[in-house]
Amino acid sequence: MSAARSLHELITIALGEARDVVTLRRCTQAVCRAAGVTGTPLVRLTTVVSEAGEHLLGTQDLTAELCLEESGAVAVAVRFRWREERRPSDALLAAAARLLDATRLEPVTDTGRHELVLCQRAPAPAGSVRELAADVRERLAGTDTAADLIDALRTQNRQLLAALEESERQHEELQRLNAELEETNAGVMALYSELTSELQATNSGVVALYAELEDKTRQLEVAHESKTRFWANVSHELRSPVNSVISLARLLLDAGADPLSDEQRQQVALVQASGSTLLALVDELLDVAKAESGTG
């Protein structure tokens, strides 16, 4: 904004307590809407004005003047004035400079009052700024700020009650969910206990079956060893008499032995052949016994 500025005062509010800051906020909103400042710019100006009013509250002779400022462009301006040696915080000034179109901390005037000016640009009016200022004054004069404050408190109370009801509903829903969760946990624990019992019973059965299989295996091994020893013993016991029979038949058939009749020779030969066959069977039986015992 240029240095040549013309101000059109709208209303001045003395700030002595918290409710005065609420009145200032509502008046700022009314001026912004009348001047065509809406949406985010309106929210920014009213927010910064409220923060500045609360920050400066308690200083001597604190007032806030709402006006339309004209310097090539039109802006809604809020001018805070106070006497005490108290400077707005750097955080407040930085936030105001970031959010608003113009922020000025004026030097102490000849009246000894400090001054902070917060400005937000407004659209160009259809007529003159003077006419717009007169229209805004009429609107502010017709506004019952006390009634507005009561309405605001009522609205806040309704919102608070709605928030409390929602909080109560959420609390009840949370309790219901907790009860369902506890019931589910109890069911899970019961199922876990049941499965654990079944698993323990199954493990016991497996262990018993394994022990039975081990016992059967030992019995089979003992029977197998006994069978192998029996075959080996039988084979050895049969070899000796069979060899004797074969040797005796060979002697009888020898050319130097006493002569035999044809029928005797045929019978002895038959004995020798049968003995040889029997010996072959005994040898096979012995080989099987050795193979099963692992010594063959």
- 190, amino acid identity: A
Q: What is the dihedral of CA 237, 239, 244, 250, to 10 degrees?
A: 170
Spatial separation of the C-alpha atoms in residues 214 and 83, rounded to whole Å: 104
Beta strand pairing call for 73-82 and 6-14: unpaired
Spatial separation of the C-alpha atoms in residues 165 and 21, rounded to whole Å: 29
Q: Is the pLDDT of residue 189 over 50?
A: yes
Q: What would the 3-class secondary structure string for 44-98 be?
A: HHHHHHHHHHHHHCCCCCCEEEEEEEEECEEEEEEEEEECCCCCCCHHHHHHHHH
Helices 39-56 & 90-99 angle (0-180, nearest 10): 170
**Tokens 């108290």 label which residue?**
86
Write the pLDDT tens digit of every residue in 7-18. 899 999 999 998
Contact 228, 293 (CB under 8 A): yes
Write the pLDDT tens digit of every residue in 205-260. 888 888 888 888 888 888 877 777 776 777 677 777 877 788 877 777 777 777 77
Q: Is the pLDDT of residue 149 over 90?
A: no
Of 98, 102, 114, the C-alpha closest to 74 is 102
**Tokens 């400042």 label which residue?**
37
Spatial separation of the C-alpha atoms in residues 92 and 98, rounded to whole Å: 10
* Average pLDDT estimate for 70-92: 88
pLDDT at 1: 42
Spatial separation of the C-alpha atoms in residues 73 and 129, rounded to whole Å: 10
Write the pLDDT tens digit of every residue in 110-137. 677 889 999 999 998 888 888 888 988 8
* Average pLDDT estimate for 12-30: 92
- H or E element in which residue 143 lies: none
- 271, amino acid identity: V
pLDDT at 263: 86
| Number of other residues whose CB lies within 10 A of the CB of residue 178 | 10
More confident residue, 267 or 260: 267
- Cα-Cα-Cα-Cα dihedral sign, residues 122, 124, 130, 131: negative
pTM higher than 0.75: no
